[in-house]
Structure 1
């Protein structure tokens, strides 16, 4: 397990819209662009093997994209190479971070100086959510999955611990990048759960409104 002293001041950054990583969660990724293959090769040579996942954000009135200031770093815990040189990797979420300064020009991929201050709970044990009402939440989730044509193992969801359930749904549900960012920045598990419920309810209301218009 990582502690604060193990966390480096500079990490490689992987900006991927809609790909959310949370502490103590796992994110599978398919790496194939040459710059990110170079990033993976360099990362595997480090003792920490950390990659920072960050959501790009659009700048109004411009085609330019910048990065959100808060992301989550994951440790490469598994990787396999395909015959054509691509990689399938798994990141295990370690801690959120704040970007202090982007470093460009030294590598084909982006690196950044980061601060881990304010995210100490990410390095601890899993969170609980004592106010989580599953009897109300699960039917709501079922309606949302049905509205999006999604399927899942409902028995496994029912048995999952609070953090695993809430974080997995936050990562997997098809929300826009800005909503994913809101889930990432939630300061606690109960706050993330409240945000998740709000997003699901909004999506269901929006779907109903669209049906009425048609």
Structure 2
């Protein structure tokens, strides 16, 4: 089953079950939010979040594109937007919206379901995609893998707190459901966006947990050898203003 969704490209990855605050100030995304708010109340207010491959925002195709490549200096798509975007994303349900006096918005959205992007419409003020839902399968031995990932994640948190010269305020309770745990760890771990995207696109929970176990062990070992990393190395994440 396919569905048309307005698209909100970002320099980050949204996962099912995770909450994401957004400050919407660009005109094309203000139009997107305005269109969602104009819908009947019984219709879901949601859009698709996709990570951008090269870390820049994307916009609809210009009426008369210049000679630039897929993305010009303004981050505007001048070629096929499918080349600029990762193809597995997450549906975002708008759970709270605040309209500011200057026409900007503050949103809180919750990731719900993964989708695969099949095509993109570029004729309107913002991108609209034809999408199909991606089913989440448990895979083999997800429960046993989840136990290992939980232990590895706690060790990683302790090492990370030490590298940041911070302290953990008590041990956090982690979800017992393997799928929920896999997405929480993917969101919380400090990893480059392409790696986070790979975790989102894993075909099942067991494979995601397997990848996370290897990543957490590697990152924990790295932090043990480099206890005083510079701040930009600790984050290694591009800022996405919109």
How many residues align? The count is 194
Matched, 1:176 2:169: no
Q: What secondary structure is seen at the aligned counterpart in 1 of 2:198?
A: helix
Q: What secondary structure is seen at the aligned counterpart in 1 of 2:156?
A: helix
State which of 9, 12, 15 in structure 1 corresponds to 2:6: 12
Matched, 1:26 2:19: yes
Matched, 1:53 2:52: no
Q: Which residue of 2 aligns with 1:120?
A: 135
- CA distance in 2 between partners of 1:93 and 1:30 (Å): 16
Asked if the contact 2:10/2:49 (under 8 Å) is kept, the reply is yes
Q: Which residue of 2 aligns with 1:125?
A: none
State which of 90, 94, 113 in structure 2 corresponds to 1:76: 94
Q: CA 1:167–1:35 in 2, change beyond 3 Å: closer, same or farther?
A: same
State which of 116, 122, 134 in structure 2 corresponds to 1:104: 122
State which of 31, 34, 39 in structure 2 corresponds to 1:38: 31
TM-score (norm 1): 0.74
Q: What secondary structure is seen at the aligned counterpart in 2 of 1:9?
A: strand
State which of 137, 158, 162 in structure 1 corresponds to 2:173: 158
State which of 143, 150, 158 in structure 2 corresponds to 1:142: 158
Gaps of 5+ in 1: 123-127
Question: 1:43 Cα deviation (Å)?
Answer: 2.1
Q: CA 1:151–1:37 in 2, change beyond 3 Å: closer, same or farther?
A: farther
- CA distance in 2 between partners of 1:185 and 1:90 (Å): 23
Asked if the contact 1:15/1:55 (under 8 Å) is kept, the reply is yes
Report which of the two has the higher share of helix.
1
Q: What secondary structure is seen at the aligned counterpart in 1 of 2:123?
A: coil
Question: 1:159 Cα deviation (Å)?
Answer: 4.6
Gaps of 5+ in 2: 56-68, 72-82, 228-242
Q: CA 1:159–1:16 in 2, change beyond 3 Å: closer, same or farther?
A: closer
Q: Which residue of 1 aligns with 2:216?
A: 200
Asked if the contact 1:54/1:67 (under 8 Å) is kept, the reply is yes
Question: 1:209 Cα deviation (Å)?
Answer: 6.5
Q: What secondary structure is seen at the aligned counterpart in 2 of 1:85?
A: coil
Q: CA 1:44–1:182 in 2, change beyond 3 Å: closer, same or farther?
A: same
Q: Which sits farther off after the overlay, 170-179 or 198-207?
A: 198-207
Q: Rg bigger for which structure? A: 2
Q: Which residue of 1 aligns with 2:146?
A: 132
Q: Which sits farther off after the overlay, 96-105 or 145-154?
A: 145-154
